Amino acid sequence: MLWAALSLPCAPDATPPSTDDLRGLATWALQFTPRVAIVDEAVVLEAEASTRLFGGRRALHERLAGQAGELGVTAIAWAPNSLAALACARAGVLNGVRRPLPEVLDALPMETLSAVVPCQLTLAQLGCRTLGDVRRLPRGGISRRFGKSLLNALDQAYGLQPEAHSWIDLPETFHARLELMARVETAPALLFGARRLLAQLCGWLAARHAGITAFTLRWAHDAMRARDAGDGGELTIRTAQPMRELDHLCRLLAEHLARVELQAPVGDLALEAIDVVPLPERSASLLPDPKNESQSLALALERIAARLGPQRVRRPVLREDHRPEWMQHWQPAPQPLPRQPAARSDLPQPTFILPEPLRLAVRGHRPLYQGPLRLLVGPHRVEGGWWHQGEDEASTNHVERDYWVALGEHAGLLWIFQERLAGDDTAWFLHGSFA
């Protein structure tokens, strides 16, 4: 398993993060995995099933680290379970999966595990400084003196017992609140706090595979305001099309805030999503999007061939040959295309060619295939191949054929021919069919 812990700032003897901050961070994290929970001052998420979707562990970490800072996250850590990940985040250890878990946890200070904190003074008097010191104490003594909760937490952190979490549900509507660290007196300065709320909104939209066309930012004036200032104000922003791009929404909000004049200092912000609509995901295919004219099939094939190997990506190419079996061949996609031959016949060409021509039954000089066949168009004579050596040096692949488009009551349109060199004028062969 792979767990990540996103820790909000929480200094010793300081007020822990607010419920709104933790809930907002958890809602944002739901875009990466549905298994998100709140543990103490952090949000933990099980990301094992999401690593391939986001391009691997490194790519997932870079995406989390690049976006989580907008929501005040100060530490990210990875480990095989949530308690170990949280302990690593508190100790400043980023990667807890590179080495064996006991080796990682044994070196951490014992206060990095929440269950140890109430017993920290007594354990320190016993000479314990790290989690390894606590783990090496007699289990019976720990159970009698500190209760089973400490042993259970140690076993869960070291992966000896399963964990139980209350998963965060994705809310049907979005409404987030933020208490500003200082009173703001100008409207443009509200953007700093509003950006955190917009980041939560974009994460919620990504988890719902949706976009937004309107949202409302509300602000509450400080309690020490003038009587005529009112309780606060609000601003509704609308977009021309559904979106969830954080930078664009922030730029749009900044343009509107520049024209707002606050009646009193602001202490709280609230953001509400108004119009939410489904937003189709962009295709992750290696093939170019036909709607995007800037992409080309040649560039896409080069990119795929570079990833899979040139011999594993091939494209069909026409040859200067009238014989259907050799009219087309396959070559590695990165190779330049030869000059393509011009059209050689007005006769319809079949959609499917058989690997080997199939000899047909004949009745009264008429070919049969699931019933009698009626000749519609033809003949189209094909001669050539005297230069094409056969399996042995004494033979060639020279052919002389008369092709016809034939119609059968049950077989549909077929591509048949007579072999002129066979010495049998009544021999007919099926070589292809039309879709």
Nearest Cα to 44, choosing from 26, 56, 70, 68? 26
CA atoms of 421 and 425, how far apart (whole Å) = 9
The predicted pLDDT at position 242 comes to 87
Per-position pLDDT tens, the chain of length 435: 899 999 988 655 556 788 888 999 999 999 999 999 999 999 999 999 889 888 899 999 999 998 898 888 999 999 999 999 999 999 999 988 889 999 999 999 999 999 999 999 999 999 999 999 999 999 999 999 998 999 999 999 999 999 999 999 999 999 999 988 888 889 999 999 999 999 999 999 999 999 999 999 999 988 777 677 778 889 998 887 888 899 999 999 998 898 888 888 898 999 999 999 988 776 656 555 555 544 566 667 666 776 677 777 877 777 766 767 767 667 777 666 666 555 555 667 777 888 888 888 888 778 888 888 888 887 888 877 667 666 676 666 777 788 888 988 888 889 888 877 655 666 888 888 887
Residues 6+ apart with CB under 8 A from 124: none
Q: Beta strand 314-318 with 412-419: parallel, antiparallel or unpaired?
A: unpaired
- DSSP 3-state of 408: strand
Instruction: Specify the DSSP element, H or E, that contains 390.
Output: none
What does pTM read for this prediction? 0.62
Per the structure block, which two tokens stand in for 143? 């159970």
| Domains with residue ranges and CATH for the chain | 3-157 (no CATH), 175-278 (3.30.1490.100), 282-341 (no CATH), 352-433 (no CATH)
72 close to 41: Cβ distance less than 8 angstroms: no
Nearest to 87 by CA among 103, 104, 73: 104
HSE of 9 in the Cβ direction (CA atoms, 13 Å)?
Answer: 6
Phi/psi at 180 (5° precision): -70, 145
Tell me, what's the pLDDT at 294?
A: 44
Task: Compute the CA torsion angle 394, 399, 400, 404 (nearest 10 deg).
Answer: 160
Strand partners, 413: 407
Handedness of CA 202, 205, 209, 210 (dihedral sign): negative
> Looking at residue 365, what is its pLDDT?
79
State whether residue 179 is helix, strand or coil: strand
Contacts of 111 (CB under 8 A, 6+ apart): 90, 117, 120
Q: What CA–CA distance (Å, rounded) separates 62 from 32?
A: 13
Amino acid at 387: W
Nearest to 268 by CA among 245, 307, 228, 234: 234
**Pair 77, 86: CB distance under 8 Å:** yes
Residue 247 CA, distance from chain mean position: 20
Residue-by-residue DSSP string for 227-249: GGG-SEEEEEEEEEEEE--HHHH
Per-residue pLDDT, 132: 94
* β-pair type (210-221, 266-278): antiparallel
Q: Is residue 98 within 8 Å of 124, Cβ to Cβ?
A: no
